[in-house]
Amino acid sequence: MIIKKETDISPLEITDEGLYVNRREFIAATAAIAITGAIPDLFAREGDADLKLNVGKSGAYTGGEKTTPVLDATHYNNFYEFSTEKEDVAERSKSFRTRPWTVSVEGHVNKPRLYDIDEVMKMFPLEERIYRFRCVEAWSMVIPWVGFPLGDFIKRCEPTSKAKFVEFTTLKDQKQMPGQTLDVLDWPYIEGLRFDEALNPLTMLAVGMYGKVLPSQNGAPLRLVVPWKYGFKNIKSIVRIRFVEQMPISAWMKANPREYGFYSNVNPEIDHPRWSQARERRIGEIAKRNTLMFNGYSEQVAHMYAGMDLRKYF
């Protein structure tokens, strides 16, 4: 048995205290289910009337990997609008109001308009897709998202030939989102995709997870899911979708361009300036695993980057 000295242990190998506490809570919740038969509602949010979603077809895009326990996926979250501490986001966002909610479609489109979120949720059949989710801090999850292809929504907007990129913007509301009072980023949060990335069949707009509507801490009521990119590209709580000719400057690009590029594809061969991306720790597991190129979705997306220098366009 090999016992590492404290000085030999990398900070990335140490389990986050908040995650450890959350998993203790998960064990306690599991025990409560066994005793009472009651399932704790991890998705409860002020104003939600019907948490269940009508999901049509379902598919796994993970090679049969088991999904992350729901408590981990809903209580270990990066959402700086609420807190920079992952374990605090769920508590600080529990009263976040998602109704009324509108999404503005702007820019180079023939059909710009303001959509109500409930209208958006009824526009397309909902499907469940189980995707790997890889965070830049070298941890990962497997999550069953519920939503619809972004490409289907884009076609309805009828973009013009000038639309080369799609820009997304998060709600800015300091009263509801206390993290926006801090100078961590230049608010509101902005992200973007190249047009072909946005149209890729894997890219989706999610309105739920684990068969229910999105909890606040996971990006309610509408978020982007791009499974071959690092988590920060998967923008949450979207209020604007804009079709533009020039590449958007995203929030993290603006804050630290040396560490966060526009593409942000999962690539084990390109280290983050402060740590390696070659391996990752799946939440709920002890041993690390090798990081997969494009998060394991090379077959579906590698062709979009053929001939590109991925060290330059990181």
Query: Which range among 52-66, 134-148, 212-226, 236-250 shows the weakest confidence by mean pLDDT?
Result: 52-66
| pLDDT for 52 | 73
Residues 16, 75 contacting (CB under 8 angstroms): no
**Best CA proximity match to 271, nearest among 258, 253, 256, 285:** 258
DSSP H helical ranges for 172-302: 195-199, 251-255, 298-301
The model carries a pTM of: 0.87
Q: Does 116 have pLDDT greater than 50?
A: yes
Residues 165, 245 contacting (CB under 8 angstroms): yes
Q: What is the pLDDT of residues 253-283, one digit of tens each?
A: 999 999 999 999 999 999 999 999 999 999 9
Contacts 24+ apart (CB under 8 A), 303-310: 304/194, 304/196, 304/197, 304/200, 305/263, 305/265, 310/263, 310/265, 310/267, 310/269, 310/270
CA distance 27 to 43: 18
Peptide bond into 11 cis (omega under 30): no
Q: What percent of the chain has pLDDT over 70?
A: 84
Query: Which range among 40-44, 52-56, 69-73, 181-185 shows the weakest confidence by mean pLDDT?
Result: 40-44
User: What is the band of 51 on the pLDDT scale with cuts at 50, 70, 90?
Assistant: low
Q: Does 144 have pLDDT greater than 90?
A: yes
| pLDDT for 37 | 42
Q: What is the DSSP letter of 162?
A: T
Q: What is the pLDDT of residues 149-162, one digit of tens each?
A: 999 999 999 999 99
Tokens read off for 117: 């979120």
Q: Which CATH architecture has domain 10-305?
A: Alpha-Beta Complex (3.90)
CA distance 233 to 267: 14
Q: What percent of the chain has pLDDT over 90?
A: 82
Residues 163, 199 contacting (CB under 8 angstroms): no
Q: Where are the domains of the chain?
A: 10-305
